[in-house]
DNA sequence: GATCTCATGTTTGTGAATTAACAATTTAAC
DNA sequence: GTTAAATTGTTAATTCACAAACATGAGATC
C-alpha cells in the first residue's frame, strides 16, 4: 500500500471512465485505446493517458489498455466492490425522482433510508425506500451506519436540516438546494444547483460567438456591456 | 456597447451572485461588501471583487456595492429581464420533477413544452406544461422559438433524441443522461450527471484525509493503491 | 480639515489543468 | 527477421484560476 497523489480534476473523471469500461465489458471488448475512450467520454486522449498514468502503467505501448484489467482496477479504486448506503432528506418532487434513480446499477450506491417532515408520507415506503420522520434521523443514520446524505429539502429549511445532519455525524452532503451550506471543515458538500446549470447554459449561449467557431474548449466568453466611458 | 472577456469560471458564478442579490434586495438591504457576499456564497472575497471588476467599477471604495445597482446590472447581463422558454424531453420521474422545479421564480426561465414517446401521457398537461408526442417536436420548437432543451430520456435513447434536437435547431442541451453526447460544434451541452456527482463525493470522502485537516480547497487527493513493485 | 478606517480595484505570484509533442515499446505484417 | 504501424507514458509549455497583498480612494470621526 502506497500513497499516490491524484489531482482533483482527474478524480472527477474516474466515474466517467468506469462507466464506459463497464459498457465495453458488456460488449465483450478485450482492449481499448485512449483515442477510442476519448471519443466516447469526450475527454482529450492525452488527458486520459495522463490520468491513467497517475496510477502507474495500466496499458501496453502499441497495444492499448486491457478492458478487464482496467475495470478491475477501477472497481477497487472506486470501491465498487462494496455497496454504499446513503440517505435522502426531503421527499418532494425531486427527492422522489432520486429515489427512483438507478444509482445502484452502475455505481453500487443505494438509498437505504429517506426522511421527511410531512406526517402524511412518513411511515410509508416509496420505491422500496422507507420514509422516516425527521425525529428518527439521528438514530437511523447511526443504526444503518450512513454518513452520506442527499439533501433535497426546500431552500428555507436547508441550513437548519444541514445542522441536524452535521450533528448526526454526516461526512458528505450532495446538496440540491440553491443555498451554499455552512458546514465544518470535516464535512464535504457537493453542490448540484439545477437552476444554476440551466442559467449558465443560457448565459454561454447568449454570449458565445455561436455562429462562427464556438469551440467547445474556449475558456472565456465575450460579453456585450454598456460602458460609461465619458 | 463594447466587448469584455469574461473567464469561464467567473461566468459560472454569476447566477450565484445574482440569486443572493435578489435575497438582499428582498430583505431591503441597501449596500453589501465583498466580505459579506463571500460569506453567503462561499467564494473568496478577493475572487468576488476580481469577478465584479471584469465588468468595470460597480462598487465604491470604503463603502461597498449598492445592492440595487448590482442587481440591475446582473439583471441585464444575465438577461433576467426577459423570460426564456425551454423545452423538456423525456417525462419520466426526473423529468416530472423538473417540470415542478421552480426555475421561474428566481431565474425567469420557464419550461413551456415537454415531449415524450409514451402515448399514455402525451396530450396531457403536467404541472401546467403540455406534453407533446415526439413527432411534434420540430414543429413545436419552431413555433415556440425554443432552442434550449432539457434532456431527461433514458440513456439508450439519449444520442438518438439528441440528433433529433440538433436537427430541430437546438443550440443548448442540459443533459441529465449519463452519456456524453455527440453534437456539432455549434451546439453546447451542459452535463448534469447525478450518479457521477454522488460517486465523486464518495470518492473524495474515502480518499481525503478526513480526520485531520480536510481543507475544502485541497486540490489533490491521497489514494491508497496496491503497487506491484517486485 | 486632518486623520483614520474601511473596502474596492488591481497587480502579482503560485499552483493546477490541459494538451501538444515525442520517445519508447509492442504488435502485426510480410 | 525486419520493418511498419500503433499507442502508451512522459516532458514541457501554455493557459487558467485563485488568493494574497497592496495601493487608491471614499467617507466618518474628532
Q: Walk along chain B (230 residues) in steps of 10 and give the mean pLDDT of each run.
A: 75 94 92 93 95 88 91 90 94 96 85 97 96 97 97 97 96 96 93 94 81 43 44
In this prediction, residue A214 carries a pLDDT of 39
The residue among A220 and B145 whose pLDDT is bigger is B145
The reply to whether residue B3 touches residue A224, judged by beta carbons under 8 angstroms, is: yes
Least confident of A119-133, A156-170, B74-88, B117-131: B74-88
In whole angstroms, how far apart are CA A111 and each of A75, A83, A103? 20, 10, 8
A46 CB-to-strand C distance under 7 Å: yes
Nucleotide C4 C1' to residue B63 CA (A) = 15
Helix (H) or strand (E) holding A137: helix A137-143
Task: Give the CA A4 to C1' D12 distance in Å.
Answer: 22
| pTM score of the predicted model | 0.90
* Average pLDDT of span A94-112: 91
- In the structure, how far is the CA atom of residue A139 from the C1' atom of nucleotide D7, in angstroms? 54
Q: Which residue is nearest to nucleotide C8 (CA to C1')?
A: B61
**Secondary structure in 3-state letters for B148-187:** EEEECCCHHHHHHHHHHHHHCCCCEEEECCCCCCCCCCCC
Q: Identify, with chain letter, the residue nearest to nucleotide D21 (CA–C1').
A: B46
Tell me which protein residue sits closest to nucleotide D24, measuring alpha carbon to C1': B61
What local confidence, expressed as pLDDT, does residue A132 receive?
A: 98
Of the candidates A132, A131, A164, A17, the residue with the CA atom closest to the CA atom of residue A80: A17
Question: Does residue A146 register a pLDDT over 80?
Answer: yes
Cell of A56: 502507474
The pLDDT of residue A225: 45
- Largest Cα–Cα separation, chain A: 68
- Region A65-83 average pLDDT: 91
Give the separation between CA A101 and CA B197, rounded to whole angstroms. 13
The one-character DSSP state at A1 is -
Q: How far is B205 from chain A (nearest CA, A)?
A: 7
**Which residue in B6, B93, B195 is closest to A106 by CB distance?**
B195
Of residues A5, A97, A213, nearest to B94 (C-beta): A97
Residues 6 or more apart whose CB falls under 8 angstroms from that of A52 comprise A34, A58, A59, A65
Q: Angle, to 10 degrees, between the axis of helix B67-77 and the axis of helix B8-26? A: 130
Interval A198-220 mean pLDDT: 65
Q: Phi-psi category of A199—alpha, beta or left, where left has phi over 0 and alpha has psi -120 to 50?
A: alpha
Q: Verify whether the Cβ–Cβ distance A180 to B55 is below 8 Å.
A: no
Amino acid at each position: 500500500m502506497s500513497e499516490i497523489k491524484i489531482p482533483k480534476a482527474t478524480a472527477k473523471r474516474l466515474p466517467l471512465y468506469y462507466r464506459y469500461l463497464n459498457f465495453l465489458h458488456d460488449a465483450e471488448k478485450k482492449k481499448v485505446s485512449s483515442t477510442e475512450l476519448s471519443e466516447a467520454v469526450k475527454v482529450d486522449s492525452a488527458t486520459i493517458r495522463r490520468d491513467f498514468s497517475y496510477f502507474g502503467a495500466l496499458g501496453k505501448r502499441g497495444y492499448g489498455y486491457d478492458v478487464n484489467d482496467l475495470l478491475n482496477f477501477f472497481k477497487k479504486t472506486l470501491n465498487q466492490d462494496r455497496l454504499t448506503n446513503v440517505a435522502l432528506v426531503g421527499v418532494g418532487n425531486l427527492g422522489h425522482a432520486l429515489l427512483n434513480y438507478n444509482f445502484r446499477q452502475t455505481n453500487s450506491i443505494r438509498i437505504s433510508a429517506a426522511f421527511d417532515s410531512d406526517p402524511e408520507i412518513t411511515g410509508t415506503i416509496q420505491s422500496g425506500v422507507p420514509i422516516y420522520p425527521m425525529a428518527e434521523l439521528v438514530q437511523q443514520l447511526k443504526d444503518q451506519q450512513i454518513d452520506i446524505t442527499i439533501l433535497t429539502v426546500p431552500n428555507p429549511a436547508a441550513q437548519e436540516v444541514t445542522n441536524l445532519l452535521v450533528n448526526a455525524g454526516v461526512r458528505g452532503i450532495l446538496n440540491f438546494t440553491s443555498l451554499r451550506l455552512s458546514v465544518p471543515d470535516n464535512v464535504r458538500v457537493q453542490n448540484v444547483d439545477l437552476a444554476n446549470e440551466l442559467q449558465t447554459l443560457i448565459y454561454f449561449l447568449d454570449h458565445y460567438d455561436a455562429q462562427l467557431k464556438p469551440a467547445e474548449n474556449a475558456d472565456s466568453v465575450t460579453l456585450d456591456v454598456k460602458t460609461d466611458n465619458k
